Amino acid sequence: MAMTPDDDALPEGPDVTPEAAAPAEPADDFDGHTLDELSDYLDRGRQPYDPSIEGSAACRLALANLTRLNELSARALRRESEREPDRDEVWIAGLLDAIRAEVRSGRDVPVRHPDPTLRLALTEAAVRGMIRRAGDTMGGVIMGRCTLDGDVTTPGAVIRVDVTFALEFGLTVAEVGDRLRERIRYALERHTELVVGAIDVTVDDVYPRREDRP
């Protein structure tokens, strides 16, 4: 049965920001914090409260993705740990690389406003967050990489969405792929003004069903 798109595909936190040219930042710098610093902050239960982290959209997105990574890591390390330990380490490292890439603000995605003197934009990271959440809340899917291919900075330009995901064993690739495309398209049409052409989805891993997990 096809899943009806729902508001679980909504991004968390502020995602519309005044359009501005952002200077290049060093790798792994999230408004002055490194990924290691954010990981330590998360390990402490986000205590003591750090306003420089909690007040940063980039940091909050990184924390959300790190939380997801921690959940997946625990599951992956249990999965076939005796038979294929190296495979899980590589898989987790790949997810971490994806997180590092995707929490960067990236390009500005214009948003129209009735006042022509006001220029608004979504960050590319916020759009990727919408796409990732559309998949992660669907069930049977663990999202991998997400790429927006095309000129997202030009209103009306057609773009292509390219995502990878791990599929729960026993599910039908074609059916899940169609549902994932539907949810991604729904989220982008509802919350952005992007003109989406193709949505390419690729299965790059299979993980065991819940009842089969140790």
CB 166 within 8 A of CB 142: yes
Q: CA dihedral in degrees (64, 9, 100, 102; nearest 10)? A: -150
Distances 65 to 2, 60, 139, 190, 214 between C-alpha atoms, Å: 27, 9, 17, 22, 24
Note the pLDDT tens digit of each residue in 152-203.
999 999 999 999 998 999 999 999 999 999 999 999 999 999 999 999 999 9
Same domain, 202 and 99: no
pTM for this structure?
0.63
Q: Are 99 and 109 members of one domain?
A: no
Residue 126 and residue 202 in one domain: yes
Residue length of the chain: 214
Task: Name residues of the chain where pLDDT drops below 50.
Answer: 1-27, 76-77, 80-83
Distance CA 16, CA 139 (A): 28
Instruction: Give CA–CA dist 120/141, Å, rounded.
Output: 33
Q: Are residues 206 and 195 in the same domain?
A: yes
Same domain for 158 and 204: yes
Q: What is the span of the domain harbouring residue 168?
A: 1-19+105-214
Whether residues 72 and 155 share a domain: the answer is no
For residue 121, the domain's CATH number is: 3.30.70.1350
- Which of 104, 121, 148 lies at the terminal end of a domain, its last residue? 104
DSSP assignment letter at 37? H
Look at residues 127, 118, 101 and name the one whose alpha carbon lies nearest to residue 196.
127
